[in-house]
A and B are shown apart, each in its own frame.
Chain A
Amino acid sequence: EVVLTQSPGTLSLSPGEGATLSCRASQSISSSFLAWYQQKPGQTPRLLIYDTSSRASDIPDRFTGSGSGTDFTLTINRLEPEDFAVYYCQQYATSLYTFGQGTKLEIK
């Protein structure tokens, strides 16, 4: 089973700043089979990025995914108030899919 470790656990930033969220895999993820989700309190998770760097429908271009192998990054430019949420990465390179434990992005 591929273990995904996200860091930091909590990130405190101000609106307008940029955020960098990390997702590290316990083994290499082939073909960049990694997705990112956003979850706000009391809401359903929302797909942001799939295949490491492809933005889902209606996702603003301030969200960018990158990475390969075992190290993946979600970058959020110019944080908006609605971006403060919990972010999860998910791998689908093996038949046993897994999620990271999440990074909470909070307002400083």
Chain B
Amino acid sequence: VQLVQSGSEVKKPGASVTVSCKPSTNTFINYDFAWVRQAPGQGLEWMGWITSHNGNANYARKLQGRVSLTTDTSMATAYMELRSLTSDDTAVYYCARLQGGWLDPWGQGTLVTVSS
């Protein structure tokens, strides 16, 4: 099973970005998803998770109010929206399948660059 993410994005400060994540199989309804980001040269930062079957989501405190995780079961796709972007949000954004708390597999990553 692979997770395929949408392509790189360049955004201006204050804008919003949406990254999509689609499993390569049709077992989407059984998936919970996590989102993680990694700023250039930095470590992994937990963003949140969402369950596909009922849409329950949990967000990192640092991003509360700016991030929204959703799923579209008809499109078998998960989405991460981040609002009010600043240069500090420049990072590679990863989706991953959440299995019992651990993450496997991971998507290929989506580079989001915030620049004026």
A and B from one complex = yes
Q: Which residues of A contact B (CB under 8 A)?
A: 1, 33, 35, 37, 39, 44-47, 50-51, 56, 86, 88, 90, 92-93, 95-102
Interfacial chain A residues near B61, Cβ < 8 Å: 1, 96
Interfacial chain B residues near A50, Cβ < 8 Å: 99-102, 104
Q: Supply 4 further A-B pairs (C-beta < 8 A) apart from A35-B103, A44-B109, A95-B58.
A: A1-B61, A45-B36, A47-B103, A96-B58
Inter-subunit contact A44/B106 (CB<8 Å)? yes
Q: Give A1 to B63 CA distance when docked, in angstroms.
A: 14
Contact of B108 with A by CB under 8 A:
yes
Q: Which residues of B contact A (CB under 8 A)?
A: 34, 36, 43-46, 49, 58, 60-61, 94, 99-109
Instruction: State whether A45 and B100 are in contact (beta carbons under 8 Å apart), knowing that A99-B44, A99-B45 are contacts in the complex.
Output: no
